[in-house]
Structure 1
């Protein structure tokens, strides 16, 4: 029998603890490294905690749900339907404008054009029901990470499965973007469907997110989970 794991959830009061955990988890994440790849290693190391805090504060300001398992060994940040982190008010309050300034013009392009542009296109194509009608309401897994010392225990899967119960009760899908093959496989095991593959920095960056002339670029796998009642006969609206 699986060992019982305590799971709790809350709101913006959990920002600091969530930031502490997720900052440890995403230091070498390919997408994060890609976004900060114009910085020297020293500058990236110095600024990285503030960068993560700004992103998570933006989520907290938009009523994100912070869930954790096993006394903060694993943390997930969920954006509710209709909530985003890229509105001007949020960007100002969360310090994201300063974040963009620190990343520089090229970094801003990577975040707002390269990433957000492709992500938006994927959502328009694949966030659809069995009749090709686009979902206007969906949950979004903004971040999830497990402390390196606690990996391999299935904690991320447990957090996701619990949240899937909430989404299923509401009859709504969940969307995410997997940034590593390992995380993609974890999501697939809990019922997420791989829709396509995005690439960032093809020809300019390595798969790890560091600059590399002629490199293959950073791969991202947008994925969707549908409640059981919606899983039959879904189609790609782009094919219509």
Structure 2
């Protein structure tokens, strides 16, 4: 099994929608990064799917590598170092500090000066697909590229489970960050006393 560029836009988009539809931490990030009210994500699955399509279309149209493995079982959006996909700062400056400013500082500290990196914006395994091993195939493909080209891989894990999966492939957590505190509960509901969510900025450095 290998990771290859997608040929079917709709199939790939649907797979990502299926993967993220029930993930509350993603709801929060999707609304924030698109400057939408947090209540939007709670209202309906259709709203979540629309937000995912917005991401997918934006990265696709700006030249990111949209990859699939396992016959569209796993979809990943990789931004190679030679591509600049614009991502505007949000209207929430506290979020900007957490997600943009602090993350940039960590990357500058961790990644050796002059070393380029691939950024994994999204990766999702379609829960409706019976194919096994597609996530492994995706990561093994890019780890081979990283080691061969002496290039880093960077991502944010938005759950403990995801963090542990990425750690298995050699990614190291360099920054545990918290977002949505006082805005949402762990289940994604609006809550002024909510504990929010925890994320992890992880980097793979070439061997």
Q: TM-score, normalised by structure 1?
A: 0.72
What is the aligned-residue RMSD (CA, Å)?
2.7
| Residue 7 of structure 1, aligned match among 2, 7, 21 | 2
Residue segments in structure 2 that go unaligned for 5+ positions in a row: 32-36
Looking at CA atoms only, which structure, 1 or 2, has the larger radius of gyration?
Answer: 1
Residues 82, 138 of structure 1: 8 Å contact kept? no
Shift of 1:133: 4.8
Shift of 1:69: 1.8
Query: Where do residues 57-96 of structure 1 align in structure 2 (5 Å cutoff)?
Result: 57-86=57-86
Greater strand share, structure number: 2
SS in 2 for 1:214: coil
Partner of 1:119: 99
SS in 1 for 2:67: strand
Greater helix share, structure number: 1
The runs of 4+ residues in structure 1 deviating greater than 6 Å are none
Shift of 1:161: 1.2
Mapped partners of 1:9, 1:220: distance in 2: 28
The 3 A distance-change label for structure 1 pair 85 and 201 is same
The 3 A distance-change label for structure 1 pair 167 and 14 is farther
Residue segments in structure 1 that go unaligned for 5+ positions in a row: 1-5, 89-107, 229-240
Partner of 1:179: 158
Partner of 1:17: 11
Residues 172, 226 of structure 1: 8 Å contact kept? yes
Q: TM-score, normalised by structure 2?
A: 0.82
Partner of 2:40: 39
Shift of 1:148: 1.4
